Amino acid sequence: MTEEKTYRYCGREFTQREIDRIQSLAFENPAQTRTEFSKRVCELLNWYKPDGGLKDMSCRVALSRMYDDGLVLLPGSRYQPGRKKTYKTQKTKATDPADPVNEPVDRLQDLVFRQVSGQKDSKLWNEYIDRYHYLGYKPLAGAQLRYFVSSQDQLLALLGFGAAAWTIADRDRHIGWTNKQREQNLHLVVNNARFLILPWVQSKNLASKILAKATQRLPGDWLKRYRYQPVLMETFVQQDRYQGVSYKAANWIKVGQTKGRGKLDQDNNARIPIKDIWLYPLHRNFKTILCREQKPADSPSKPS
């Protein structure tokens, strides 16, 4: 019997049968909004967050990537072969270079972390990242928090945290969890997907200080927003660009490197830059917690 083909998006396996059901759902009501549609897909697939809410944000990203890959048509769109969706943002004066900052970090006033809140903040954060980060902007998958970091009302840096990578061999070996444990507990790992010191800011030791403060700040903020607290942070540093000096100075641990293959590279042909894997434990017993196998009653389910 031939095994059914699957596709992985946002940490979830989608079977071809599920893809077909998603497409049928889209055709049922072409006038529905993408937001309405993603919520219906979550309900259809029983896709819920640990707090019992719909995993709507991850679903939207997954649907967008399915559309990019030509697997589905979405309400309000028609797929065109060879056309890839881009996330370029418009450059405005709001993100033009500011006055240089050259003082070492110990001469700067207290660093202030402000969460991105509302559409205006979100557009501004996206624009800075797209304009000045070498990877540019693309939506973060899953649960996420984004920050502006400033001193005396002068913006210095931006941070973005989102869902962890589904499977990374060296990280998973370091944690020691099984596939089932990873599937159940991956939400307790948070990925530092973007970290940008603005190019006109040249402040010695600023990066490591921001990272140290972020590891103290994020768990509480995450708990307030999502009603659970992560126990581990991860990030990936591209070897041909950076050495991870600021992460090392902030007591992150390098545990290995990626294999240089993309998420959907099933034939081991696609090559992407190799990145070092850095981890930061947010709980001293993080391995025990991540390797804990939940009972069926403990698993996320639809609230009654």
pLDDT for the residue 70: 82
Q: Residue 35 to residues 29, 60, 64, 114: CA-CA distances in angstroms?
A: 13, 7, 12, 27
The answer for residues whose C-beta is within 8 angstroms of residue 194's C-beta and 6 or more apart is 129, 133, 135, 140, 146, 158, 159, 160
pLDDT, tens digit (0-9, with 9 covering 90-100), for 96-122: 999 999 999 989 989 999 999 989 999
**CATH number of the domain at 93-295, please?**
3.40.630.30
Report whether 200 contacts 100 (CB < 8 A): yes
Which position has the token pair 């996320």? 300
Residue 301: pLDDT band (50, 70, 90) is very low
304 pLDDT band, cuts 50/70/90, is very low
Task: Give pLDDT, residue 32.
Answer: 82
Quote the pLDDT of residue 77. Answer: 57
- pLDDT at position 79 over 50: no
**Section 50-62 average pLDDT:** 86
Q: What percent of the chain is modeled with pLDDT above 90?
A: 56
Whether the pLDDT of residue 89 is over 60: the answer is yes
At 28, is the pLDDT very low, low, confident or very high (cuts 50, 70, 90)?
confident
Nearest to 202, CA basis, from 253, 168, 135, 157: 157
Domain boundaries, the chain: 6-68, 93-295
**Chain-wide mean pLDDT for the chain?**
87
> Mean pLDDT throughout 283-303?
76
Structure confidence at residue 135 as a pLDDT band (50, 70, 90): very high
pLDDT of residue 81: 47
Highest mean pLDDT among 35-44, 85-94, 102-111, 145-154: 145-154
Its pTM surpasses 0.95: no
* CA–CA distance, 103 with 108 (Å, rounded to integer): 7
pLDDT digits (tens, 9 = 90+) for 243-269: 999 999 999 999 999 987 654 444 455
Q: Has residue 52 got a pLDDT over 90?
A: no
pLDDT at 205: 94
pLDDT score at 294: 77
